[in-house]
Structure 1
Amino acid sequence: MLCLTETLLLLLLSSLVASPALSDTVYQSCDTSGNYTTNSTFQSNLFTLLPSLSSNGSASGFYTNTVGTVPDKIYGLVLCRGDTNATACHNCLDVARQDVIQICSNNKGGLVWYDPCYLRYSNQNFLSSTDNSNAPILYNTQNVSDPDKFNKLLVDLMNKIAQFASYNTSRRFATGEANFTVSNPKIYGLTQCTPDLSGDQCHRCLQAAFNAISGLPYSQGLRVLGVRCNFRYELYPFYEGKSMVLLSASSPQSNGTNTTTTPTVEEEGKKNNTGIILAISIPLVIAVLIISTICFCFWKRRRLSKKNPSLTESEEITDVESILFDLSMLRDATANFSDENKLGEGGFGAVYKGLLHDGREIAVKRLSRGSGQGIGELKNELVLVAKLQHRNLVRLLGVCLEEQEKILVYEYVPNRSLDTILFDSVKRKELDWERRYKIINGIARGLLYLHEDSQLKIIHRDLKASNILLDEDMNPKISDFGLARLFGGDQIGGTTSRVVGTL
């Protein structure tokens, strides 16, 4: 049996091996916004902020926080790479909070970046912006052979994993690989955004990051270290686990792909490429969610059956346990469903705005117990929306079925529904022809996807202005699939037996 001294030595050695050291920083930078004095209020706030970033960020891999009031207010953010396990994330963030104090001694802002994680704090409010400009660029000085072929393949690969990341609602993270040549057999790529960005914001951020490397030589490896989004490619595997996207050198270039020296994300309207990405990404993401939460789900099912004896075995929603939310978490996020957070109320119940502990904004649809939407229609909406991913469809994040509650959790869409603008004599003036055309076009793209391009053929059956939500850029998103109807893959028509939808 090991003596106490030997045990402590082993623990110390293991912690040193598992954690990055000060010399392991990929990049470090200190803001020029000013210095703070020792024992000042700013220093006290900083020493409160950094441990909170480390401890809370370790739990989910991402966390933002603010401490204090102006002029001593501090903003902080941490992010672990999407393939990093909880232990490695914790070790990295713990070292980061200590290193940044040494690197940026008495400085009011600092950034330390390691392979598994990064940490940033500042007295400037960078959390309120999605700006990713002036991100550091690191690249290998060795050029590649056959640069034209390399560039075309790299563009296609980075396009696909960038779109994968924007559709990956839980992590905004993706990896991929492509076959190149015999001498350089593989290109490996990685993209990641902070999870509080919407899919559209992540997409635009990565596109801007790609554009930032215009004019650089065809390097054997490169990374852009943006705080809001980052990407990297190498000629060797540098991430954990299997690649999420696989691309062969013979893969045809997708329509609209830019094959210049700058990798760019494909335009939103290229439905063929979107179909490919969806076909690859959705099963993979669902598989990861199921595997990673199987133990939790087993416990949750038993708890649910005890709390909801009225649900028979045949009525259990067995396809969506991986996206269950705790009722207590949703109560905290919505201030116990307070009227101040109510966004509106429809035929099936009220919708509330919520804020999760990781900083994400959500829309919580609390179905009224006396509403017409029963467990069958709820299951229909969950199964449908969970399988559908498109920029013009509202994204389902999860569900809560506790204490007789039936609650759906969606991405928060800031500009509410179309009817709140269209039928308001003042607000309707915001809808000039250009915006109306953009909204019409987006709705049409969403319907085209539902009717023809998705793996399922779906007829919404309750499309109306109040079921069209508008994001921060006035892009439309179709919502409410409780009355949707599935059709067979080769079916082009059908007969309904009852009238549904809004009278």
Structure 2
Amino acid sequence: MGNCASAIDSSSFFFFFKRPNSNDNIPGMSASKRTTSSTTTGRLSTLSDSTFMPSTVSGVSTDDAYPDGQILESPNLRIFTFAELKNATKNFRTDTVLGEGGFGKVYKGWVDEKTMNPSKSSTGIVVAVKKLNPESVQGTEQWESEVNFLGRISHPNLVKLLGYCKDNDELLLVYEFMAKGSLENHLFRRGAVYEPLPWSLRLKILIGAARGLAFLHSSERQIIYRDFKASNILLDSNFNAKLSDFGLAKHGPDGGLSHVTTRVMGTYGYAAPEYVATGHLYVKSDVYGFGVVLLEMLSGLRALDPSRPSGKLNLVDWAKPLLADRRKLSQLMDSRLEGQYHSRGALQAAQLTLKCLSGEPKNRPSMKEVVEALEKIESIKTKSREPRNSSSLVRGQGNSPRSNSSRTSSRGR
């Protein structure tokens, strides 16, 4: 994120207060909204057309070949022309819009599975095309960061960047399509499309997202994701979790240093307290953000919600005493999960959440340790059988509306 500095002033705080029902929850691709500066993010290489080469990989997943992930020496992406992406998205027709965020609109497109050329009549594989709005505050440098980081990284729990377009003032990114949209939608949206996520599925999603972060942190030069939140966790048709949106990603500290110092950017409510207060960014700052999402999964409540009473506005502040007391933990747990989890599993999840939310980065677990802890929780037998719709959710068929009584049990979400 540019050069390191010993301190930051109040003008360096660039948070977007993400309110409930914001319009950047995009099915298929994330386009998160936040204010930003023109300071460049840390990059794997200097962006130039010569850095990239047309991809020789088809649209078929290559995760099976590298189940533990890989980092390429240089991005291997398909370079699209603007005309090709116009064809792929039917000239960016309004009926292909998946959503809109701070970067710009995201469109559904179709390309040939083998050649990645635009396909006609909505055949081939579906992709998500993110198009920069010329008036966007995010701009070129976050686009470059996305290409330089995500263009080199391959892991089953990271969204695939398939290609890009840099055509005069037109900047676009082409991603794999994520059929189930964002975790945020499934946790907090209401209606027939979004069934409540059962306990087993929440654990599956958490483990996948944790593996993605663990991979970033364990790379030769650690990568700090810096914007871990529910809206940046996307789900494929089988509810496999993948991290998206690497516009704020940054390399970790060099030379044995404990942290890097940078301008504070991200989403308020998920950012670690040491980062907000000082600009000191640690690898374990990501672990704090994971703890917030884990807490959201346990409670079914947003990290921040101005519609809640003042004492419950900030979920972390309100929930910490409940997490620390097994007798009060039931007051925190999402009522829609009743009967689905073993009390021992819930207690272990609460204890893990508290560790992740520790005020001292050194006291937080590594993401590898988080993965191991979640896998142990997943292995605990559930207290009773899950609702019959939980299996249909995994198959992508759970679309029946919830009852009114179920809707009203959300405790002010």
- Tell which has more relative contact order, 1 or 2 (C-alpha 8 A, sep 6+): 2
Q: Which has the higher strand share?
A: 1
Normalised by the size of structure 2, how large is the TM-score?
0.45
Q: Which has the higher helix share?
A: 1
